[in-house]
């Protein structure tokens, strides 16, 4: 099975006050790290979804330098599901699934992505999630078979509706990766999880 990767980086970062994609951790930006996590886990290609007009800026340059393709979400007030749809549409037709990683989850590991891809290849499950201490996190793998459902404009809670619909078919993969649950949304989150 061929699995692509999607970095969701088109958010407005209103709670952070600056672009989360360009925050740094261990000398690299969150965006560079997200690309490395997906590519290192076996995703090919990796697509980065950026805000409208941003592909020509630093984030776009970093994404392309990291070997990723860039696409823009044209909706100024976009929700995460809108960016997911843009990313899915950008993947080639021979991709069987997509591992989706929000850019504000910089502590997940490439080995986690490899485990998700392996579990998908073994099970063919529509959704494969990492679990740490009984709690699911990110990234999440969505099989092509349910991409049409994710495109449904009537979803009330975005991808959560589709996850709930397939609750009995989800393949949860227990992993020792605390990073799957670390969401860096605010300056306090950044200081606590990344350091000064």
Domain assignments of the chain as residue spans, ordered by start: 3-180
Task: State pLDDT tens for residues 101-157.
Answer: 999 999 999 999 999 999 999 999 999 999 999 999 999 999 999 999 999 988 888
Question: What are the Cα distances from residue 102, in Å, to 31, 35, 58, 94, 123?
Answer: 9, 11, 18, 23, 24
Q: Residues, the chain, total?
A: 196
**From the CA atom positions of the chain, what is the Rg in Å?**
15
The CATH class for the domain spanning 3-180 reads alpha beta
Q: Is the pLDDT of residue 196 over 80?
A: no
d(Cα 156, Cα 159) in Å, to the nearest integer?
A: 9
Assign 57 a pLDDT band (cuts: 50, 70, 90): confident
Rounded CA separation 149/9 (Å): 22
């Amino acid at each position: 099975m061929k699995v692509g990767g999607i970095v969701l980086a088109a958010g407005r970062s209103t709670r952070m006050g600056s672009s989360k994609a360009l925050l740094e951790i261990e000398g690299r930006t969150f965006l560079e790290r997200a690309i490395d996590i997906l590519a290192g886990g076996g995703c090919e290609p990796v697509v980065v979804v950026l805000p409208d007009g941003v592909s020509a800026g630093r984030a776009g340059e970093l994404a392309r330098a990291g070997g990723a393709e860039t696409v823009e979400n044209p909706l100024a007030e976009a929700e995460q599901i809108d960016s997911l749809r843009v990313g899915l549409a950008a993947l080639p037709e021979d991709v069987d699934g997509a591992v989706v990683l929000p850019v504000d989850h910089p502590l997940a590991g490439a080995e986690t992505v490899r485990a998700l891809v392996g579990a998908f290849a073994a099970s063919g499950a529509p959704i494969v999630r990492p679990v740490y201490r009984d709690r699911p996190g990110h990234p999440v793998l969505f099989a092509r078979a349910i991409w049409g459902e994710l495109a449904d404009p009537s979803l009330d809670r975005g991808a959560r509706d589709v996850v709930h619909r397939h609750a009995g078919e989800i393949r949860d993969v227990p992993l020792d990766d605390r990073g799957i649950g670390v969401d860096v949304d605010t300056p306090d989150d950044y200081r606590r999880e990344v350091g000064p």
